[in-house]
Structure 1
């Protein structure tokens, strides 16, 4: 596989150090890594305005005028597939990473075996994001990228899949569940949710990061929390 990887760090020594490890990871895993190095968040965003096809972003948090978390929030407004890995000398920012669905935090000095493990996970998630469901509705075939699915709910003999748009198909929730992967969790008999889209869980509902509330059946609270923990 070929991956386009951005390394954004205000330390030239750190940029070169990480770039060397990325290239060794790619060579050992049989991948091709096209790396681009940036000394600031602003310089990356200038390039990103013209080229939005980055697969992985290795991002320092403590930089100049714009910090890495602020930059990641800007990216997430229109890009929910790029794999963001924060690199930091401090652990204070970890909670903020959940807002931008960061794949991982790497503490400086970065260990090569740890970086390689995280890059393997990023490559696996990118591969999953290429999966597409092909479904028939209203006499036509509809293709839905799996990563876009936020949740699905059932009404009678029909399931509505909520993604970039809502698509209603005649099928059972069990049939849909079999077509999905471990990112998705069955909530009782009425819904399936994308675990990566959850921002909060209460005793009565699941809150998604777009503000949607999915009712949580009685007794399901512990199960979905375990599923979220296992995902991470």
Structure 2
């Protein structure tokens, strides 16, 4: 089980961070446990009984701040991935001495949290495969999202289309979109496509895994931006 700690003296930020991290880890199919702490002292006391692999640590806390807390953590644990949380980027430079993995700026951006979390998971060499759990009368199916080319809504039924077959279930496409996070983009009020399989945008259509799908006028600009960002990211990964 992956063990994480969230240490922040503001409840609203702890809750937001936990929600985003928990949702992403559920999608990845990674069994996890998240402990929360309101101050550095609480976190340090817990280290006698718990060994956290990922620690989200607020820099600006009363009494013992995040930087000093991280220094003391490193006396117990050299392997934990420490991710600083701060409202002031200037504090980030102090993270080098405690080998902090990365930092997150308040107020939170979900995409940044997800990106930093995946960097930590890669460093820990954990599986990053995401799954979508489909509930059917016959039981639950854990469908790898990497195999899904697109989701399409047909009234009250959603079809999760892969290269081999289609999985049908009852759900609203808006709810599916909220659960997926990144990697998928809306091209139409009925279609949600995997950017991995998006090959081309041509006028009011998109080519997805060789199939031509409709693109609505309201989705076209956001689709073009998402596709461009995805292609740039792929180029960066290949460098």
Q: TM-score, normalised by structure 2?
A: 0.51
The answer to whether 1:7 aligns with 2:6 is yes
Cα deviations by residue, 1:56-97 (Å, 9 ceiling, x for unpaired): 000100001000010000111231110000000001212210
Root mean square deviation of aligned Cα? 1.2
Where does structure 1 differ by over 4 angstroms across 4 or more consecutive aligned residues?
none
Cα deviations by residue, 1:137-179 (Å, 9 ceiling, x for unpaired): xxxxxxxxxxxxxxxxxxxxxxxxxxxxxxxxxxxxxxxxxxx
**Are 1:5 and 1:35, in contact at CA under 8 Å, matched by a contact in 2?**
yes
The answer to whether 1:39 aligns with 2:18 is no
Number of residues paired by the alignment?
A: 126
SS at structure 1 position matched to 2:2: strand
Q: CA deviation at 1:32?
A: 1.8
Instruction: Report what 1:23 is aligned to.
Output: 22
- Structure of greater Rg: 2
**Are 1:25 and 1:116, in contact at CA under 8 Å, matched by a contact in 2?**
yes
Q: TM-score, normalised by structure 1?
A: 0.53
Instruction: Report what 1:96 is aligned to.
Output: 94
Q: Which residue of 97, 108, 111 corresponds with 1:113? A: 111
Instruction: Report what 2:78 is aligned to.
Output: 80
**Are 1:10 and 1:38, in contact at CA under 8 Å, matched by a contact in 2?**
yes
Instruction: Report what 1:125 is aligned to.
Output: 123
Uncovered stretches (5+) of structure 1, i.e. residues with no partner: 129-232
* Residues 151-166 of structure 1 aligned to structure 2 (within 5 Å): none
